Structure 1
Amino acid sequence: MRITKEHEERRNEILDTAEMLFFTKGYTRTTVNDVLQAIGIAKGTFYYYFKSKEEVMDAVVMRFIDAGVVAAKRIASNEKLSVHEKLLQIIMAQKPDTDRKGQMIEQFHEPDNAQIHQKSLVETILQLTPILTEVIEQGIEEKLFQTPYPKESMEFLLVASQFLFDEGIFKWQPEEIIQKIQAFIYIMETTLGAEKGSFSYVTQMFEESS
């Protein structure tokens, strides 16, 4: 007897299974048939929810990123926090908060998962930029920052931090990382027109992330 599952439950089942296969077999080696066999569903059922393996990957990545985005929006709208408190907490909220999330990040770094890794980096930048831009604009209003390009400044800074400090892309030595963190703080303060030393807490942020 076929069991009919609720729409969201079935969709999540497909995503959970695909996610597991992506990170055990690798995204490129996983096929739609692998997902079908693991769950025990017909091809038509799969295509009712997703048009392709690529669309499933997009959904897996977005589900992974969504929690951090929701937290970022909540922090940005908190009127009790200062601009710098908001920036620090938003970035820290993107850290893995569960073993599963941490394991996913480790799997992103596997060569077979380069495509899904790239997708996650790009989506993180796209999703966080508008939220962080609002915080920077608040900082401009409060005379903490001076930049005519708040959105573009955040894009450049996010791209730099997401890629340059990604252990799966670069294999920096500890002393190199320290130097780059100091350079990043200098670039951030210069780009945003912030007071020198106002972003010193970024060093703490990286130490807690390591």
Structure 2
Amino acid sequence: MRTIKAPEQRKHEILDTAEMLFTSKGYAKTTIMDILNAVGIAKGTFYYYFKSKEEVMDAIIMRIIEADAAMARRIAADPDIPVLGKLLQILMAQSPVQGGSKEKMIEQFHQPENAEMHQKSLVQAILHLGPVLADVVEQGVKEGLFRTEYPRETVEFLLAGAQVIFDEGLFQWPQEEVMRRAAAFVRMIEQSLGAEQGSFDFMLERLAGPAADGE
């Protein structure tokens, strides 16, 4: 007997299955027919939810970004966490768990043939995380920790720069080069926000950590 599932449940089932196939088989090698067979649905059901494989990937990207943004908002809204602590926790929350689905999806983004989806993920991260981080920076301005007239714009520039320079799929810096860029980036953050020098030294370990782990 055919199982009838609620629309949202079916949609998430398609996304979960597609994500599993993209990370195990590779996005480029996965076909819509692979997804249909794995889920056990007809073409018509698939096209009711998604127009293409690319649209499925877009939805998976947004699901990851929205989960990260939701976690960031929870941290930002906690009145018991100081401003610098919020920034540290938000940064840590964005780091994928080793061997987890997010890390495996990021590996797909780094494939040369998937450059467009990688770009989409970077843009969406800035659009969704930028406002949350800007709110934290504005709190820091009110508390006298930072001095900047452009909280959101500054955050967007810093996010964009960090996501490109520290992207291991784009650059394979030696560890020494990573540390130099991490130190420079930390000073740029402090100067851009008008923070006291040394305020963001806690970020050095986080920025250098992924490269150090890969040695």
TM-score when normalising by structure 2: 0.89
CA–CA distance in structure 2, aligned partners of residues 193 and 33 of structure 1: 54
Partner of 1:46: 46
CA–CA distance in structure 1, aligned partners of residues 128 and 198 of structure 2: 28
Q: Deviations over 1:26-52 (max 9, x none)?
A: 334433233223323111101211233
Percentage of identical aligned residues: 55
Instruction: Return the letter of the residue paired with 1:87.
Output: L
Partner of 1:118: 119
Per-residue deviation, 1:96? 1.5
Asked whether 1:148 is paired with 2:149, we answer yes
SS in 2 for 1:99: coil
CA–CA distance in structure 1, aligned partners of residues 168 and 205 of structure 2: 18
Per-residue deviation, 1:206? 2.3
Per-residue deviation, 1:54? 2.4
Q: Deviations over 1:124-171 (max 9, x none)?
A: 111100000000111111111111111110000001111110101111
Per-residue deviation, 1:114? 2.7
Q: Please list every run of at least 4 consecutive aligned residues from structure 1 whose deviation after the TM superposition is greater than 4 angstroms.
A: 207-210
Are the structure 2 counterparts of residues 113 and 21 from structure 1 closer, same or farther at C-alpha, using a change threshold of 3 Å?
farther
Partner of 2:84: 84
Range moving further from structure 2, 70-79 or 113-122:
113-122
Instruction: Return the letter of the residue paired with 1:11.
Output: K
Partner of 2:165: 164
Q: Is the 8 A contact 1:87 1:135 kept in 2?
A: yes
Q: Deviations over 1:86-111 (max 9, x none)?
A: 11111111112363233333333233
Asked whether 1:65 is paired with 2:62, we answer no
Q: Is the 8 A contact 1:144 1:195 kept in 2?
A: yes
Are the structure 2 counterparts of residues 112 and 38 from structure 1 closer, same or farther at C-alpha, using a change threshold of 3 Å?
farther
Range moving further from structure 2, 199-208 or 39-48:
199-208
TM-score when normalising by structure 1: 0.91
Instruction: Return the letter of the residue paired with 2:157.
Output: F
Are the structure 2 counterparts of residues 173 and 208 from structure 1 closer, same or farther at C-alpha, using a change threshold of 3 Å?
closer
Q: Is the 8 A contact 1:22 1:113 kept in 2?
A: no
Aligned residues: CA RMSD: 1.8
Stretches of structure 2 that go unaligned for 5 or more consecutive residues are: none
